[in-house]
Amino acid sequence: MDFGLSDDQMMLRDMLQRFLKDRYSHEARRAVLTSGQAYDTAVFAGLAELGILGAVFAPEQGGYGGTGTDLMVVFEELGRAGVIEPVLGSAVLAGGLLAALDAEGQSDVIQQVIAGETILALAHAEPQSRYDLNHVTTRASTSDGAIVLNGTKAHVLGGAQAGMLLVSAREEGDPADKHGVSLFLIPSTSVGVHCHGHVNVDGTSSARITLEAVTVDQSQRLGPPGKAYTALEAAHARATLALCAEALGAMETGKALTVEYLKERKQFGVPIGSFQALQHRLADMLIEIEQARSAVINLAGHLEADRLTRERHVSATKNLIGRVGALVAEECIQMHGGIGMTDEYAMSHHARRLVMVDHLFGDVDHHLDRFIAFSGVSETSRNSADAR
């Protein structure tokens, strides 16, 4: 048993910490948000240059990391600083998926993603899919040897900034079938792609993308037809780990800001941190954050396990992070008082991310359901787990 980081991982963490300390002040981040830009391109280039994007890919994929622990190390730091640059959407989710499919001739695209030269976005979720990965109604129909895509994709992370899109579409089956879903790699400038970008409550950016008779050829399909679900699920497991580690980092910052504030803020002639009612709440919060850290470690350690074990950990961790994230956000705001609610002060930004993390890749209820299904031993529950 060893909960320590390797020398390389410690170096990566320290380097990233230094970079973000220099380049990612709350004021700078807020200036980017106010300017209407989706993110700071110079910072994103800087992250690529440091090798942060490469650290989430395995060596055989052209990266130099890619383990669960690497993801955890990187994303905890990104979360601490509240990074809105599209590392999660482009490198982990879409990039990780593309790399895992191991499709011929795609290593150039991966290299561009690692270099930060191309933003890649996974256009998979749909207006009605909520948190179900199997729900795909976008159609891929064959006509005269070409494939034509029609449908609407929602909540596409970094969709409006992406140069390339990884689009899921159904070649056969009903909307909720796992079988029948394929992935296609297309330039975002393809004829028939209409992109409506928007900012999210937490400062990240997404897009709604309409595909109107987008014509692609067979070579743009990644892997065999209709068999993309397994890879989609595994990529979401990795992205969920990254997101949970990011939340952990945001919790640590929220806690640090609150402790600092409680020592400094005086009411009734004493620091408010001297009130036992608040001390106990902060102590409870610390306990919960340690639980969150353990949950993230659990998932990081089971990312390469068999599907059932891995997905049971995905749901356990995401459920716990959802609960603790909301608790930390709400408690930190409450203990700050009004100042914790202002846009000017960093706390409210971390609180927004902590709460909105529950709306991405499945919320507490969704993962509680899945966890129960994956934990069952009877045949009925196994079938039910399989359906999820």
Partner 1 sequence: MDLAYTQEQEQFRAQLRRFLAENLPERTRDKVRLGKRLTKAEMQDWHTMLNARGWLAMNWPREYGGAEWDAVQRQIFEEEACRAHAPRIVPFGLKMLAPVLFEFGSEDQRQRFLPPILCGEHWWCQGYSEPGAGSDLASLRTRAVREGAYYVVNGQKTWTTLGQHANWIFCLVRTDPDAKKQEGISFLLIDMDTPGVTVRPIVLIDGEAEVNEVFFDNVRVPAENLVGEENKGWTYAKYLLTHERTNIAGVGFSDAALATLKHVAAHTMASGRPLDQNPHFAARMAQAEIDLMAMRTTNLRMISAAAKGHAPGIESSMLKVKGTLLRQELSALLRRAMGPDAMPYLPDFLDGGDNADPLGPEHAPAAAPGYFNMRKLSIFGGSNEIQRTIIAKSALGL
* Interface ranges with partner 1 (CB under 8 A): 125, 127-128, 130-132, 154-155, 176, 196, 198-202, 206, 208, 266-268, 272, 275, 277-278, 326, 330, 333-334, 337-338, 340-344, 348, 351-352, 355-356, 358-360, 363-366, 368-369, 388
CB of 353 to partner 1, least distance (A): 11
Query: Which pair of tokens denotes residue 291?
Result: 């639980």
What is the separation, in whole angstroms, between the first and last Cα of the chain?
32
How many Cβ atoms sit within 10 Å of the Cβ of residue 280?
10
Distances (CA, A) of 46 to 22, 69, 87, 222: 11, 22, 12, 30
Q: Give the nearer residue to partner 1 in terms of CB position, either 289 or 335.
A: 335
CB of 345 to partner 1, least distance (A): 10
Residues in the chain: 388
CB of 217 to partner 1, least distance (A): 31
CB of 337 to partner 1, least distance (A): 5
Q: Give the nearer residue to partner 1 in terms of CB position, either 62 or 271.
A: 271
Q: Give the nearer residue to partner 1 in terms of CB position, either 41 or 128.
A: 128
Q: Give the nearer residue to partner 1 in terms of CB position, either 17 or 348.
A: 348
CB of 189 to partner 1, least distance (A): 22
CB of 67 to partner 1, least distance (A): 28
Comparing CA positions, the residue from 140, 146, 144 lying closest to residue 168 is 140
Longest dimension (CA), the chain: 80
Distance CA 66, CA 47 (A): 16
Q: Give the nearer residue to partner 1 in terms of CB position, either 35 or 143.
A: 35
Distances (CA, A) of 54 to 101, 286, 328: 17, 32, 31
* 32 residue type, one letter: V
Q: Give the nearer residue to partner 1 in terms of CB position, either 70 or 126.
A: 126
